[in-house]
Structure 1
Amino acid sequence: MKRKIRVLIVEDSLVVRELLKHIIGSDARFEILAAVDSAEKCLELLETTSPDVISLDIRLPGMNGLDATLQIMAKRPTPIVVVAAQVDDDELNIAMNALRAGALSVVEKPVGVTNVAFEAMAGKLCTQLAIMSQVKVVRQGIDRGLRFGSVEVPQAPNFRPGSYSMVGLCASTGGPQALVQVLCGLGDGYPLPILLVQHITSSFLEGFVSWLSGATPFQVHIGQEDELPLPGHIYVAPVDRHLALIHGRLAIQDGPAVSGQKPSGTVLFRSLARELGRQGIGVVLTGMGNDGADGLAEMRQAGGYTVGEDASTCVVFGMPSAAFKLGAVREMLPLPAIAPRLRDLANVGGGV
């Protein structure tokens, strides 16, 4: 008989804690190891127990969810699913920084059992706990990329500095921390517009965009129909819509999910292949599943420059691995080498 997934619940509200115990305890996949009301008690328990996944509240008495994530990932790395109420900018900011510090996913705090949205929210929570419990996490902190040290960027095969016009990025699990490292590495004044698909719980998208704008040198927006992409700006796919490029302008599309995702990196990359050909750059970062692989393959076939994050730095090597197996990736690079390569391609001197 398959062993149940052991869950540690950290939630200060007694009402919500009992609700989480009900939701998780009702799912036959899980065993509740403990339910505690503070990060300090969580850290104490981790000295003697080994949960497979932690359900972590953000706003806690004493140590908050971000500080708890930093402590857990530095001392006893364990998959963390952040459970947050979208109540204010401060809580969203803490949640996004927890993702940057090593938490794997953020989901909405479930509402009461009588609410019409209860079943969907409870199902989403349990699905995320089950999936993330399988991720092999490593010791890290909010500046995870620094632990890799300096990386020698290899000579790029057959690239044409300065002949590229736009970058497409796709990321999923582990994406926020990877994106911050890549985008900060590009530096202020990077000359190419960037279109981004990040798989994230829809209710946190606006908070993610605001946080990314503050954490990187770029102006970050949710993409708008017919918008002209400009250098120094990042355009993020809207909630439940695909982002594409048509005739040099953004197109917001309501098509079916691709590779189980909406928005989908494959939809974005396919449009860049059609529109830009040899002038497009596509990058697939850490994430579960295979989104982006088919579209990246089309970009490479069209002559664009395609990059996948190497397994050595991925939180989850699913999406880059799928692209590599398809022959869609011209270069597999560790995370610290991706920004220097993108600077090379844009003919930006020096690296950072």
Structure 2
Amino acid sequence: MQVRLMVVDDSAFMRKIVSDAASKVTGVTVVGTARNGLDAIENIERYRPNIITMDVEMPKMNGIEALKIIKRDHPEIEVIMLSSHSKEGSLVTMEALELGALDFIEKSSDRGDLGFLTSQLESKLLMAEVLTKPREVKEKVKETVLHRREPFSAGGFDYRKVKAVVLGASTGGPKVLFQIVRKMPKELNLPVFIVQHMPKGFTKSFAERMDEDSALHVVEAEDGMSVENNTVYVAPGDFHMVVESGKIRLHQKPKLHGVRPAADFLMESVARSYGGHVLAVILTGMGKDGAAGLMSIKEAGGYVLAQNRETCVVYGMPGYAVSSGVVDEVLSPEDISERIVRIVR
């Protein structure tokens, strides 16, 4: 199925730039444009888009207000936000992701740097083209694990020994991570480590947004930070994060699986630091990042949860982990939240 794209922006210049760039992407047809959120909503039935690019600041109805209505009335339509790199812009972007936006494209502060925007647009639309394919085509991984809800017998994993929780996510991950971390109790009595594929400058706002609505303390990790219980450490954009000798270490080794931060680096370090005392979670996202790290955790004796196919925006990362044989349970985000709390308490 082709991507039927609607471009929503109050700037005629940006509508043309985005439309021209999108038209060059194989499998994408620009079916229409709109000048603001209200104009977009009124023309959905006319253009029948399955993907919308949405600016934030617009007259009559801004992008956030339009997103809420679209996700309520047309949940099948995916929305990609255009976000400024400013502090305010990144905070609004986090709100949009929490509300269900598929992803975002970072606007360059340099109006002339159109290559930066168009390269992002192409990659996001290529991903969107995969998402619009029929489910039987895009989901080739068959789940082979049982949906175990009750604790193992004495011969299985000892829940009482968990000393750290680690989560990896990409496309669609922010909304799920907000949900999961929000349900973690204040006295979790262990640290939580997160890799969410996200550009530099946005992970700080992501952590701050999560901290506002969580009983735990959520921070963007900094090099040399001491690892403390009841704290959630979010890997900063453009840096790989590892745990060594009770401290956070950041480095900029080459991208792994095309991303930095990569969940594999973090998970492998957590396996080295905590051995089998780890509960790992792999969430929605494209690609195979996390599978090797989860293998290290499993070989050390840890326990692995994966998000189920039905609730994933992209079943790539969880699907690859499942097919690798490292996953103990496949659950919905709500069940993952409950399972984490049951295991660690």
In structure 1, the residue matched to 2:7 is 9
In structure 1, the residue matched to 2:47 is 49
Q: Compared with structure 1, are the counterparts of its residues 206 and 242 closer, same or farther at alpha carbon in structure 2 (3 Å cutoff)?
A: same
Partner secondary structure for residue 309 of structure 2 = coil
In structure 1, the residue matched to 2:122 is 126
Flag structure 1 segments of 5+ consecutive residues without an equivalent: 138-151, 348-352
Q: Compared with structure 1, are the counterparts of its residues 113 and 28 closer, same or farther at alpha carbon in structure 2 (3 Å cutoff)?
A: farther
Conserved? CA contact 2:27–2:129, under 8 Å: no
Conserved? CA contact 2:203–2:234, under 8 Å: no
In structure 2, the residue matched to 1:309 is 307
Q: In 2, distance between residues paired with 1:59 and 1:36?
A: 13
Q: In 2, distance between residues paired with 1:131 and 1:211?
A: 26
TM, length-normalised to structure 1: 0.86
Q: In 2, distance between residues paired with 1:57 and 1:65?
A: 6
In structure 2, the residue matched to 1:146 is none
Conserved? CA contact 1:19–1:112, under 8 Å: no
- 1:92-171 equivalences under 5 Å are 92-110=90-108, 114-115=112-113, 118-135=114-131, 154-157=149-152, 158-171=156-169
Q: Which amino acid aligns with 1:19?
A: I
Identical positions, percent: 27
* C-alpha deviation, 1:226, in angstroms: 2.4
- Deviation track 1:286-329 (CA, whole Å, cap 9, x = no partner) reads 11111101110110111011111112322221111111111111
Q: Which amino acid aligns with 2:181?
A: L
In structure 1, the residue matched to 2:205 is 207
Conserved? CA contact 1:202–1:239, under 8 Å: yes
- 1:255-266 equivalences under 5 Å are 255-266=253-264
Partner secondary structure for residue 201 of structure 1 = coil
Q: In 1, distance between residues paired with 2:112 and 2:312?
A: 40
Q: State the number of aligned residues.
A: 328
The root-mean-square deviation of aligned C-alpha atoms, in Å, is: 2.2
Q: In 1, distance between residues paired with 2:343 and 2:119?
A: 43
Does the alignment pair 1:79 with 2:78?
A: yes
Conserved? CA contact 1:81–1:132, under 8 Å: no
Q: Which amino acid aligns with 1:119?
A: G
Q: Compared with structure 1, are the counterparts of its residues 107 and 215 closer, same or farther at alpha carbon in structure 2 (3 Å cutoff)?
A: farther
Q: In 2, distance between residues paired with 1:173 and 1:123?
A: 17
Partner secondary structure for residue 232 of structure 2 = strand
Flag structure 2 segments of 5+ consecutive residues without an equivalent: 134-146
Q: In 2, distance between residues paired with 1:155 and 1:226?
A: 39
Does the alignment pair 1:67 with 2:65?
A: yes
**Residue 225 of structure 2, aligned match among 224, 227, 241:** 227
Q: In 2, distance between residues paired with 1:156 and 1:97?
A: 36
Q: Which amino acid aligns with 1:85?
A: S
- 1:216-255 equivalences under 5 Å are 216-255=214-253
